[in-house]
Each structure stands twice: as C-alpha cells, then as structure tokens.
A and B are shown apart, each in its own frame.
Chain A
Amino acid sequence: MTPFVYHKPVNVDEGLARLKASSDGAWLAGGMTLLPTLKQRLREVTDLVDLCALHDLTNIQLGANAVTIGAMATHAMIAGHPDMFPALASLAAGIGDPQVRNRGTIGGSLANNDPSADWPAAVLACNATVVTSAGSFAADEFFTGMFSTALSEGALITAVHFEKPARAAYVKFRHPASGYAMAGVFVAVMETGVRVAITGATACIKRWPAAELALTKTFTNESLAGLAFESEDMLGDIHASAAYRAHLANVMLGRAVAKAMV
C-alpha cells in the first residue's frame, strides 16, 4: 500500500469536509473491498476517511411495513437482527463468509456496485430508496453501470429504506471460492407489482421486465415457461460463459419464486 492520511471523523459533516479537502480520498467502511484493492495497488488514495466512529450510521429502524438500515450496518448485524425481513436477512447471511460479514457493510456494497454483489439485487427488486448526504435516490436511478452509481462525488450513503414486500426471496448460485453471485435473483411482490432483479449475470444489476409481467399476472413457476433471460451486456469468463449465466438466471428465478411462496 502506498502511504495515505487516515481520518476518523466523529460526525458526518466533519467526514464530508475531510473528504472534500483531500485531493484523492475515499470513504473507508468495512474495507472488505477497498483494502484488498489498495493492497494489490489496483487503486491509490491520498486519504482514507474512516466511517467507524459514526455510530448512528449502524442503526436499523424496523417498523411493521418498512425498515431503514444505516449504511454502516454490517452484513452480520442485518443477518442477525431478530425482526429483519426474512429475504433481507437471508441475503445478508449468504454474503462471503463470517469474517467478511463481520466487517462488510450495506453502504459499502451499494457504493461499490460490483456486478456480482448481492445487496444491489435486494435494493433494486424492492425499489428501495438510497439515502445520501446529497439527496435520495430510487433504486431504478441509483445503479448506473459497472461499478458506478448516481452517488455524487464526495457524497456519503447514510441509509437505505425498504418498504416491506408482500413476498420476497433471494437465491444465488455462489462462486465456489468468493461466494459472489455467478447469477442471483431477487424477486419481490411489491404493491406496484412483482419486481425481479438479476445480479452477477450482466455488467450492471438489471431488472427482468418479461418475468415481472408474467409473475404479476400469476405468481407461479408455471407462468415463467418459455422465458429466457437475455441482455446485451452479459458477463462471461473462465468460470461461466454468458450462455451458462443466462441459463442460471432462469434457474435461480424459478428457485426464488418457489422460495417466496413458502
């Protein structure tokens, strides 16, 4: 790692000011993505602004029909919260491994928008709201491309607000080494209809409109007959070809629908 200045602000305003004053600084949340990147010198920073002392950002406020999760809530805190919506708790419990879940945060995962990450699938399928220091974003506007989001330069994600889906489930086919999704599907029955988000298969998290339409009519696996996932930006690599990932998306959707029905 190349040298940098470390900051530990005690409130959000101080953090925003520290980051703004740096020439090429970054927020440090769980560090589960950022520190490996710095270690491998894939990235260099002049400053790290650690969010660990901003304890308010770990709050989880659960109501009967909605939950607001602070950006610094770790995957383990969310998975272990006794009243968490089951689909969110089970998604969180499937991220990486226990040590990754003890450090990694929902805010860091959303800011990073890795094409294979799990949280973007939940946020997009539930049409959650991403709350930042520079305004709130509906999920449909937040994820703009591979590793990119609508978050403005230097802004901080502070929380994510989910309305409770009537039914929901997330199923992924795990990469055997990392745990990331080779293809993962979050299906959510919302007031406005069914929403389906696919992660891991394309360059950026995507909805699957044809499946949403079919499932909004009848929420059964049978209504998916004949559907095949396709997209212009399919991912393919040594682990799984584009065609294989598209097939996985279909299979994971079927499993997610079955899981959401129980």
Chain B
Amino acid sequence: MIINLNLNDKAISADVVPERLLVDWLRDELGLTGTHVGCDTSQCGACNILVNGLSIKACTMLAVQVDGCTLLTIEGLTKHNELHPMQAAFRDNHGLQCGFCTPGMIIAGIEIVRRHGSHVDAVTVAHELDGNICRCTGYQNIVAAIIDGARRMGASA
C-alpha cells in the first residue's frame, strides 16, 4: 500500500505491507533507529513518537495507519545542529544512563509540556510517565530533566 506522510518535516511517500508495524518500518526500512523497542506488551514507551502531535507507541500502530499524518521521531527534534530544549535538559540533568529508554522519555516529556504547560510540577510529571519504563536511572533525574526541559521550552516559546 502506498502511504503519504510528513516525517520529521519532510513529505515522503512509501510502499508498505499492511502487517508492518510502524516501529519496524521506521527502524528497518527507513533506518531511523532512534525509536526503540523495549517490550512486546505495549508497556515500556521506548517506541514513543509523536503522530499529529500526540505521543503514541509506534509498536502498537501499523505503518499503513499513518497515511496522511505528521510524524516526529527523536531524529527530527534536533534543528540546525542544536539539541531540542528537552534533549539538552536530559543531558544536563543526567536524565539517562544506558539511554535505551531516553528517546521515548523525551517524546513523553514533550507531550507532558503540551498538556500541562511549562510550569508542570514533579508529581504530575511522575504520574504522566506511567507509560515509560526505565531500568537504570531510578527516575529521579528523568523527572528533574523533564521539569527543566519544560521550563526551557517555556522560555524559548
């Protein structure tokens, strides 16, 4: 099936089979391996990307379903060689150790700011990370990074 979409600010057209998962298509066919696969139960959030501005699990959507949509993956966040404020906040707050969960955390963080604004508090952030699993950090620094990222996004908006 032919699908047309906007991926990381580029209009693209592709031929995909219906049973292709969105995450497999991104990783295996487009080489966008920043979106990770951490589970097969739709619970870990390592595969989070933004579809039409909403964070979704790319492991639980078919590639054919994004026909006509606008997608943003972790690869699309960096502009003119400058990290997105949420990415920079993760680096500065030591919001990662192995980094496996990080792309999904950053996407979830951006969604949190969209929904709760740049003055979001730590309790809300922790609650909103329900769909993201990290096996390294203990979450403290992830929450701190998202709070900091939120403030930076507010300042740059």
| Count, chain A residues at interface, CB 8 A | 27
**18 A/B residue pairs, CB under 8 Å, sorted by A:** A4-B19, A6-B1, A6-B64, A35-B42, A39-B21, A39-B40, A52-B65, A97-B45, A97-B131, A97-B132, A98-B55, A98-B108, A99-B55, A99-B131, A100-B42, A100-B131, A103-B61, A178-B43
**Contact for A31 among B61, B111, B115, CB less than 8 A:** B61
**Contact for A6 among B18, B45, B108, CB less than 8 A:** B18
Q: How far is the CA of A35 from the CA of B18 in the complex (A)?
A: 12
B105-132 with Cβ < 8 A to chain A: 108, 111-112, 115, 128, 130-132
User: Are B41 and A99 touching (Cβ within 8 A)?
Assistant: no
Query: How many inter-chain residue pairs (CB < 8 Å) link A and B?
Result: 73
Task: Classify chain B: how many residues form its interface, as a range.
Answer: 20 to 34
- B60 on the interface (CB 8 Å rule)? yes
Can you name the residue of chain A whose Cβ is closest to the Cβ of B112? A98
Q: How far is the CA of A31 from the CA of B18 in the complex (A)?
A: 14
Can you name the residue of chain A whose Cβ is closest to the Cβ of B132? A97
Can you name the residue of chain B whose Cβ is closest to the Cβ of A103? B56
Known contacts A2-B19, A4-B19, A100-B131; A35 and B60 CB within 8 A of each other: yes
Q: In the assembled complex, how far is the CB of residue B48 from the closest CB belonging to chain A, in whole angstroms?
A: 6
B: residues with CB less than 8 A from A are: 1, 17-19, 21, 40-43, 45, 48, 54-57, 59-62, 64-65, 67, 108, 111-112, 115, 128, 130-132
User: Are A4 and B128 touching (Cβ within 8 A)?
Assistant: no
